[in-house]
């Protein structure tokens, strides 16, 4: 009877372990999906930042050009 009790105890521990494994496996999958989404969002944000930087540089170039034109104008009579 002692042996049967030990098998029962072992069975319960194995069931508990399998349950915990399933929970961890599911959570790992959720975290992998979350990571993929965040990586995609980061990529999109990087593209947006790159576009904004390009636009800023274009505006800066135009402003510099306009300032150069204004310097060429003699404002004093």
Give the pLDDT of residue 75: 61
Per-domain residue ranges for the chain?
A: 1-69
Alpha helix positions (H), the chain: 2-72
DSSP state of 73: S
Per residue in 8-65, pLDDT tens?
Answer: 999 999 999 999 999 999 999 999 999 999 999 999 999 999 999 999 999 999 999 9
pLDDT score, position 64: 92
**What local confidence, expressed as pLDDT, does residue 69 receive?**
86
């Amino acid at each position: 009877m002692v042996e049967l009790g030990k098998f029962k105890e072992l069975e319960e521990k194995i069931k508990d372990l399998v349950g915990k494994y399933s929970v961890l496996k599911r959570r790992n999958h959720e975290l992998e999906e979350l990571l993929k989404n965040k990586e995609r969002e980061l990529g999109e944000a990087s593209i947006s930042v790159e576009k904004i930087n390009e636009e800023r540089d274009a505006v800066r170039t135009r402003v510099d050009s306009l300032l150069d034109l204004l310097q060429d104008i003699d404002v004093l009579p």
